Structure 1
Amino acid sequence: MILEIVSPEAKLFSAAVTSVTLPGINGSFQILNNHAPIVSILEKGEVKITADSFAFAKEVAGKFTKINDQNYTLSINSGTIEMKDNKVIVLVD
């Protein structure tokens, strides 16, 4: 599936991923390939991204924390998420 993470300042990430775990207002939840369509509000926490490989633009690479070669996290204050047709769009603040 494709994951796009966008902030008011810039597009932070756009690539194919295996899964993404998000801090929902009712608890953390994970999205995998072929997940049902969903729209949700996010609260302060960490977005956890799992992918086979990562490539970040130089200007945003410092916002992500490397867990291992296939996992990175991004701290957010709030946001929204939409999953539809194997494309996840996350708007973060």
Structure 2
Amino acid sequence: MLLEIVSPEAKLFSADVTSVTLPGVNGSFQILNNHAPIVSILGKGVVKITAASFTFAKEVANKFTMIDAQNYTLAIQSGTIEMKDSKVIVLVD
């Protein structure tokens, strides 16, 4: 599935991923490929991205933390997520 993470300053990430775990306001939740359509508000926490490989733009790479070769995290203050047709768009602060 395609994951796009966008902040007010820049597009932080755009790539095919295996899964994404997000900090919902009522607890974290995971999205996998072919997930039902969803729109949700995100709270303060960590976005965990799992993918076969990662490529980050040089100017935003320092925002991500590597867990291992297939997992990275991104700390956020708040945001919104929309999942539709195997495309996840995350707007973050």
- Whether TM-score is above 0.5 comes out as yes
Partner of 2:34: 34
Distance 1:7 1:34 in 2: 25
TM-score, scaled relative to structure 1:
1.00
Distance 1:25 1:56 in 2: 27
Partner of 1:50: 50
Partner of 1:11: 11
Partner of 1:66: 66
Give the percent of matched residue pairs that are identical in Structure 1 and Structure 2: 85
CA deviation profile, 1:10-37 (whole Å, cap 9, x unmatched): 0000000000000000100000000000
Partner of 2:21: 21
Partner of 1:77: 77
What amino acid maps onto 1:23 in structure 2? P
RMSD: 0.1
Distance 2:28 2:63 in 1: 20
Structure 2 gap segments, 5+ residues each: none
SS at match of 2:74: strand
Distance 1:53 1:62 in 2: 17
SS at match of 1:40: strand
Structure 1 gap segments, 5+ residues each: none
Aligned length: 93
What amino acid maps onto 2:9 in structure 1? E
Distance 2:36 2:11 in 1: 24
Q: Which runs of 4+ in 1 moved over 6 A?
A: none
